[in-house]
Chain A
Amino acid sequence: MQGLSYVLKVDKLVVKYGDKVAVNGLSFIINEGEVFGLLGPNGAGKTSTIRAIMNIVDYQGSIDLLGKGRPKGDLMNSIGAVMESPALLESLTVKEFLELVASLRNVNDTQRLDHLIDAFELRQYLGNYIMNLSQGNKQKVAIVAAVMHRPKLLILDEPFNALDVKAARIFKEIIQNHKKEGGAVLFSTHIMEIAEKICDRITIIDKGSEVTSGPTHEILEKLNAGSLEEAFLKAIHAEEQIKELTEAL
């Protein structure tokens, strides 16, 4: 482990659903203290990549977490994840769910748990069934569950979905602090403004394959773009298409 600086290494990843290839030979590395953006249009293969890392779907290629191989069993304690649609145990109350996660992750720092609850203004909802919560509050519960144990790698799939402004700001601060403490973040989104602000390096994928990759500022320079949105549209060759379509309207 000495001298190892990467937290996650994905090599030649292939994910298939029957005949459909969702991810096609994707490779990337996420280093300590780095926010890595995985960007792409809807259906590009972002969520499939994350599902492979989370060991949810079958895949080919290799995934290595902290030099210990594929994430599984106790190694999952090094990961905290917020998925696009947080699937929680809906008939548990918020408190019961967080107690379950804390027990399974051996979290004894209840003070941190209390701070997180207060930061995301969830205390009043502790007795609520998760099913009753708004989408935004469900997202907050998923975030608390993902960060309570100070994981080495945060996997975030569209984590700002439905979050209110204050909660989104607090979560951005948590991501920055996590980075400062040497943690790594895999950040998947299609909202370019947020990606541009928080990602150190990005990989843009389309139809399951890498289109371009590198530090954010280098990609902007390489594609001669003023913003990440412009770079993204250029990378996936959508600018011309958008022009044609809007003209036809």
Chain B
Amino acid sequence: MKKVSLEDALARELLVVGYIAARQTGFRPSNLRRSIRNVKFTKIIYTVIFSFYIALFSLFTSFKQIGFGVFAASMLIFAMSGLSVSSMMTPLSYAIYGSNNIRDFLLSTSLDAEQIHRLVGKAIFKTVDYIIYGTFGVSLIMSIIFKEFYILFSVAMGLSLGMLLQLAALELSYIRSKSMASSVATRSAVSLLPIVFLIPIFLSGTLYRLNLSSISSFYFIPPLSAAFGNSLHGAITSFFWIAVFGYGVYRLIPDVSWKLISGPPSAFFPILTKKVSNRWKITSSKTLALLRADFQAASRSLLGALIGGPLIVFLVILMNGAASSASSLSVLSFTLGIEMAYLSIMIPYAFYAMEMRGASALRMLPLSKVKIALPKLLLLLITYFLYEGSLTVVMLIKHASILNMLPFLLGFFGPAASIPMTGIIFEETLKSGGSPTVTLSIAFFLISAIIVAVPYTVYFIMTLFRMGYFESLLAMIVTGALEFSILMFILSLYD
């Protein structure tokens, strides 16, 4: 019989429990063996994807024509490394709902509390071991090849801080609160903490073209110090911060590990805290009823991060836009418009994911697949026009040209087409028993990326070939409408 180490088995169990809890559909996974195998597959896929991006960003400074300096590349590498570990550890937040069974099992063995403590700590590390080895290994190779040691320091700092943030988030989630309001705030803070910190850093890498000399007096502040990793003082400072974050991780792991397997705190879903009236609120509009429930459920779950995250990024982009000059805003508008379009599709995705959790209950209701899609479509359009409209207002205030914004104000069909596409992906997920299928998650992001981009690309190509402005706009609208209609038709076939 193949011997499996207990910490390996525990790490796998925590992730499996986490993934199943996160995507709870009410159906048992039809193929548990595949669900378990998917956990390992997820680790490998995440490692490959994040290592690839770190290698890609590392190339930026070597190819001057791309126009990325050391600052931009360092911020991108740092944020990507941080996101790699924190996203891999996210399922642990869900695992707390089922992991007290793990504790009960361990306590029934001959292990004492101290041994269990250490084992779970090792298991937490095992959830991110591939990512750490992969990204760190790639950064070491790239640093040696290009003799750019800021790459190595950016990755090491990103990994240590990403882990620290996620552990702090888990620790925070155990703060007990008596009122519903503070409980919701705690949960939101928990899920948003790593995103709130890392996404703006990532965006600063894409939006600002800073020279290191202009920020040299801030070299001691993390994560800027990593960008100075090629110099001795930058390397020493970076090393200091990596040690500080690493020590934080070392101190937090034992504490979090015990809490993790002790079951959820009452603060997560406090008992008897929501006052209800005796009057039933029954609406005749199915769309509004579903939208209300989606909001209620998503705002109270960790999926709230998918709603809160894009809103924060939207505000960051808007602030960056407001801080830019009119001329640079005109140039940047196409990039910002695209980013806003992609942000708008995250909220409907969160709602679909939310409904997956009660899928077997919802499947019993008189709802066609198109009716299920309608509230998301309504919300997407509101979000889309809020995002793109706000950006247009900023540009008008700054007296920048809004010619580049018109394609976005009229090009809502692309993002709208992502709704039936998401619906189709979720139908396929349900058919597979609602078990975690990494392939489908990746498929969502890849296919949605293409679908959203197709109409804008048509517009862009037509203007590139010097077709008329209005003809290009018309071609974009027609392409988007076609794409949307075809996908809606395919979704309706799932009824």
User: Which of B28, B31, B286, B361 is the one whose CB lies under 8 Å from A89?
Assistant: B361
**Complex contact A75–B297 (CB within 8 A):** no
CA distance A18 to B371 in the complex (A): 30
**Complex contact A85–B26 (CB within 8 A):** yes
Judge if A194 is at the interface, Cβ distance under 8 Å: no
**Complex contact A146–B364 (CB within 8 A):** yes
Q: Which of B82-90, B129-137, B352-360 contacts A (4 or more CB under 8 A)?
A: B352-360
A45 to chain B, nearest CB (A): 13
Mark A140-166 against chain B: 1 for CB-CB distance below 8 A, else 0. 001001100000000000000000000
A79 to chain B, nearest CB (A): 7
Q: Which residues of A contact B281 (CB under 8 A)?
A: 99
**Complex contact A92–B296 (CB within 8 A):** yes
CA distance A130 to B365 in the complex (A): 18
Q: Which of B267-275, B338-346, B377-385 contacts A (4 or more CB under 8 A)?
A: B267-275
Judge if B179 is at the interface, Cβ distance under 8 Å: no
CA distance A105 to B365 in the complex (A): 7
Which residue in chain B gives the minimum CB-CB distance to A79?
A: B364
User: Which of A17, A55, A103 is the one whose CB lies under 8 Å from B282?
Assistant: A103
Mark B261-286 against chain A: 1 for CB-CB distance below 8 A, else 0. 00000000101111110001111111
Q: Which residues of B contact A75 (CB under 8 A)?
A: 366
Which residue in chain A gives the minimum CB-CB distance to B286?
A: A104
B interface majority secondary structure: loop
Which residue in chain B gives the minimum CB-CB distance to A94?
A: B276
B270 to chain A, nearest CB (A): 8
User: Which of A18, A72, A90, A108 is the one whose CB lies under 8 Å from B368?
Assistant: A72
Judge if B289 is at the interface, Cβ distance under 8 Å: yes
A140 to chain B, nearest CB (A): 14
Q: Which residues of B contact A57 (CB under 8 A)?
A: 431
Q: How many residues of B contact A (CB 8 A)?
A: 48
Which residues of B from 109 to 123 have beta carbons under 8 Å from A? none
CA distance A147 to B13 in the complex (A): 38
Judge if B44 is at the interface, Cβ distance under 8 Å: no
CA distance A232 to B281 in the complex (A): 47
CA distance A83 to B276 in the complex (A): 27
A83-B26, A87-B359, A126-B276 given as contacts; is B366 within 8 A of A100 (CB)?
A: no
Which residue in chain B gives the minimum CB-CB distance to A83?
A: B360
**Complex contact A17–B30 (CB within 8 A):** yes
Q: Which residues of A contact B274 (CB under 8 A)?
A: 93, 127-129
A73-B366, A79-B364, A146-B364 given as contacts; is B272 within 8 A of A90 (CB)?
A: no
CA distance A83 to B363 in the complex (A): 11
Judge if A193 is at the interface, Cβ distance under 8 Å: no
A87-B358, A91-B300, A103-B282 given as contacts; is B364 within 8 A of A96 (CB)?
A: no
Judge if B53 is at the interface, Cβ distance under 8 Å: no
Q: Which residues of B contact A81 (CB under 8 A)?
A: 364
Show the binding face of A for B, using Cβ within 8 Å: 17-18, 51, 54-58, 72-77, 79-81, 83, 85-93, 95-108, 110, 113, 126-129, 131-132, 142, 145-146
Q: List 16 A-B contacts (CB under 8 A).
A: A54-B364, A55-B363, A55-B495, A56-B27, A56-B360, A72-B368, A73-B368, A88-B26, A99-B280, A103-B283, A103-B284, A104-B286, A105-B365, A107-B282, A128-B272, A129-B274
Q: A102-B280, A129-B269 are in contact. List 20 more A-B contacts (CB 8 A).
A: A56-B360, A56-B430, A58-B431, A73-B368, A73-B371, A87-B26, A87-B359, A89-B297, A89-B355, A95-B276, A95-B280, A101-B365, A103-B283, A103-B285, A104-B286, A107-B282, A127-B273, A127-B276, A128-B274, A145-B364
Show the binding face of B for A, using Cβ within 8 Å: 24-28, 30-31, 269, 271-276, 280-286, 289-290, 292-293, 296-297, 300-301, 354-355, 357-368, 371, 430-431, 433, 495
